[in-house]
């Protein structure tokens, strides 16, 4: 079946990475798959081309260029001639739906990857509400990445009878524990081989809750002065003055390191002992799933589908509650290394059995097959 994916951008982001990983796991049918990005090409465009996929850009630069984007998309789809158009995120869902008025023989699938309505962005809010209206008329199927996202969008007016859930899938073996990687990166970062290290991996953003994490660290460090905290992600660096002030307020600021954005995430996950996700909002978080693949014990807030992901194996912190976060992290650190290792193994088993990349690919293939029927 010939499938064309339409996505808002191909910069590094959650939905973008899910698309990239989904296609990377299906390289045997590159001739039948193409990708269209609304915005100018991002970092993942070259990677998809290197893998053999056709990638196109509509170069949409703002709300006022949506009309031209629809025209460009219609013309491009007339050339590609896909049987299915799968769109990812609100803007792509909206523009792909408008193209359907000229292209009657294509089946449309939408993708929803958020558990938070865009109330702070009037333009995106309007597009979301338009999508809610169009959902009853245009798409054949709507895929949500999380049950929480499904429930939220049904309450917001989306067609309940069309929505199903396909969780994110993970290439479990890519994150397998490797003692050699662990020691090599610790040497590079000049970290003691015996130190207990807590890792927080996310771009600096209010939704990601690094401020909550640093508030929690103020309390956790009192009983755990030797624990090292690594913040990794875009904006978590020496140029972040807001972060710097929060770090200085902690009892042992020298134990808190901001490494910025890095590409060696598997090695970093091998380096740390506990993964922490303090997010205020998530849908089906990739970073948490990757930590589970690495057999790490995790501390996380109870947002989105995190409870479903972890299978009640861990006690989750209340969202946006630094005291609850501190309590959960202190509890993990107070337990033995053996306990943490066993918890990590249980989480690894959970992600392997329920959320592998192979299972995600199979679910999408079943979805496409259902459209033929």
* Tokens linked to 112: 């929803």
pTM: 0.93
- pLDDT tens for each residue of 62-80: 666 778 899 999 999 999 9
For residues 313 and 55, give the distance between their C-alpha atoms in angstroms, rounded to a whole number.
41
For residues 302 and 306, give the distance between their C-alpha atoms in angstroms, rounded to a whole number.
6
Q: What is the DSSP letter of 170?
A: B
- Residues 305-339 as b or e (16 or more Cβ within 10 Å = b): bbebbbeeebebbebbbbebbbbbbbebbeeeeee
Question: How do the domains of the chain map onto residue ranges?
Answer: 3-169+356-372, 172-354
Query: Given the DSSP bridges, would you call strands 228-232 and 197-201 parallel, antiparallel or unpaired?
Result: parallel
Per-residue pLDDT, 373: 65
Whether 3-169+356-372 shares its CATH topology with 172-354 is answered yes
For residues 31 and 3, give the distance between their C-alpha atoms in angstroms, rounded to a whole number.
10
Give me the residue label for tokens 């609100």.
Answer: 90
For residues 330 and 198, give the distance between their C-alpha atoms in angstroms, rounded to a whole number.
11
- pLDDT tens for each residue of 25-63: 987 777 799 999 999 888 999 999 999 999 999 988 766
Domain 172-354, what architecture?
Answer: 3-Layer(aba) Sandwich (3.40)
Q: Are 150 and 144 in contact (CB under 8 A)?
A: yes
Task: Pick 156 or 12 by higher pLDDT.
Answer: 156
For residues 355 and 343, give the distance between their C-alpha atoms in angstroms, rounded to a whole number.
17
CATH topology of domain 3-169+356-372: Rossmann fold (3.40.50)
Chain centre distance of CA 110: 17
- pLDDT tens for each residue of 153-174: 999 999 999 999 999 999 999 9
Instruction: Tell me the percentage of the chain whose pLDDT exceeds 70.
Output: 99
* Tokens linked to 90: 């609100």
pLDDT at 121 over 90: no
Task: Measure the CA dihedral 69/162/350/361, to 10°.
Answer: -50
């Amino acid at each position: 079946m010939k499938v064309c994916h339409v996505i808002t951008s191909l910069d590094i982001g959650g939905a973008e990475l899910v698309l990239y990983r989904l296609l990377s796991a299906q390289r045997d049918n590159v001739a039948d798959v193409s990708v269209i990005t609304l915005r100018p090409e991002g970092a993942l465009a070259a990677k998809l081309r290197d893998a053999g996929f056709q990638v196109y850009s509509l170069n949409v630069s703002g709300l006022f260029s949506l009309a031209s984007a629809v025209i460009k998309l219609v013309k491009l789809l007339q050339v590609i001639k896909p049987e299915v158009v799968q769109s990812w995120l609100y803007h792509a869902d909206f523009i792909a739906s408008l193209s359907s008025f000229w292209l009657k023989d294509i089946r449309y699938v939408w993708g929803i990857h958020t558990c938070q309505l865009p109330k702070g962005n009037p333009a995106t809010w309007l597009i979301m509400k338009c999508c809610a209206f169009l959902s009853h008329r245009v798409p054949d199927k709507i895929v949500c990445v999380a049950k929480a996202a499904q429930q939220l969008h049904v309450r917001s007016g989306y067609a309940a009878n069309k929505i199903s859930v396909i969780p994110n899938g993970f290439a479990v073996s890519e994150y397998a524990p490797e003692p050699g990687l662990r020691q090599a990166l610790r040497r590079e970062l000049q970290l003691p081989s015996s130190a207990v290290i807590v890792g927080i991996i996310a771009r600096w953003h209010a939704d990601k809750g690094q401020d909550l994490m640093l508030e929690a660290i103020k309390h956790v460090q009192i009983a755990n002065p030797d624990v090292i905290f690594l913040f990794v992600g875009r904006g978590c660096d020496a140029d972040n003055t807001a972060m710097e002030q929060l770090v200085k307020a902690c009892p042992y600021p020298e134990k808190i390191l901001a490494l910025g954005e890095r590409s060696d995430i598997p090695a970093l996950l091998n380096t740390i002992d506990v993964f922490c996700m303090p997010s205020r909002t998530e849908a089906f978080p990739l970073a948490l799933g990757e930590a589970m693949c690495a057999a790490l014990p995790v501390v996380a807030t109870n947002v989105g589908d995190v409870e479903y992901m972890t299978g009640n194996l861990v006690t989750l912190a209340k969202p946006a509650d630094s005291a609850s976060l501190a309590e959960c992290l202190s509890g993990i650190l107070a337990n033995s290394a053996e306990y943490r290792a066993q918890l990590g193994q249980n989480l690894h088993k959970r992600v392997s059995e329920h959320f592998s990349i192979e299972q995600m690919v199979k679910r999408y293939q079943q979805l496409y097959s259902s459209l033929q029927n």
